[in-house]
A and B are shown apart, each in its own frame.
Chain A
Amino acid sequence: MTTTARHPLVEDYLRRLWTEAGRLPVDQARELVADIEEHIATALPPDSTESEVRNALERLGTPTELVAAAAAPDQPQEPAKKSFASPGGAIACLVFAEILCILLPVSVPLWIIGLVMMARVTVWSERDRMLGFVGLGTGLPLAFGAVFLSTAIVTSCSQVYENGQLVSDTCGGTNWVAVTSWSILLGYLALQAFAIWRLTRSARRR
Chain B
Amino acid sequence: MGAEAAVTQLRRGAVEHCVLALLEDEERYGYDLVHELTAAGLVASEGTVYPLLSRLRKDDLVATVWRDSPAGPPRRYYALTRPGQRALDDFRVAWTGFAAAVETILHRKHQEDR
The segment out of B20-28, B69-77, B86-94 that lies at the interface is: B69-77
Complexed CA–CA distance, A169 and B50 (Å):
75
Does A39 lie within 8 Å of B54, measured CB to CB? no
Chain B residues contacting A43 (CB-CB under 8 Å) are 31
The answer, among B8, B38, B50, for a CB contact under 8 Å with A76, is B8
B78 vs chain A, min Cβ distance (A): 11
User: For the complex, is A130 an interface residue (Cβ under 8 Å from B)?
Assistant: no
Does A69 lie within 8 Å of B51, measured CB to CB? yes
CB-contacts of B1-21 with A (<8 A): 8-9, 12
CB-contacts of A44-81 with B (<8 A): 59-62, 65-66, 69-70, 73, 76-77
Most chain A CB inside 10 Å of its own CB: which residue of B34, B46, B51: B51
B88 vs chain A, min Cβ distance (A): 18
Does A28 lie within 8 Å of B54, measured CB to CB? yes
Most chain A CB inside 10 Å of its own CB: which residue of B45, B47, B48, B72: B47
Complexed CA–CA distance, A124 and B77 (Å):
34
Does A39 lie within 8 Å of B51, measured CB to CB? no
The prevalent SS among residues of A at the interface is helix
User: For the complex, is B61 an interface residue (Cβ under 8 Å from A)?
Assistant: no
Q: How many residues of A contact B (CB 8 A)?
A: 23
Does A59 lie within 8 Å of B45, measured CB to CB? yes
1/0 per residue, CB under 8 A from B, across A1-33: the answer is 110000000000000000000000000100110
The answer, among A2, A38, A39, for a CB contact under 8 Å with B46, is A39
Complexed CA–CA distance, A55 and B8 (Å):
23
B67 vs chain A, min Cβ distance (A): 13
Tell me the nearest residue of chain A to B38, going by C-beta.
A59
Chain B residues contacting A41 (CB-CB under 8 Å) are 72-73
User: For the complex, is A165 an interface residue (Cβ under 8 Å from B)?
Assistant: no
Chain B residues contacting A104 (CB-CB under 8 Å) are none
The answer, among A32, A36, A61, for a CB contact under 8 Å with B44, is A61
User: For the complex, is A126 an interface residue (Cβ under 8 Å from B)?
Assistant: no
User: For the complex, is A83 an interface residue (Cβ under 8 Å from B)?
Assistant: no
Chain A residues with CB under 8 Å of chain B are: 1-2, 28, 31-32, 35-36, 38-39, 41-43, 59-62, 65-66, 69-70, 73, 76-77
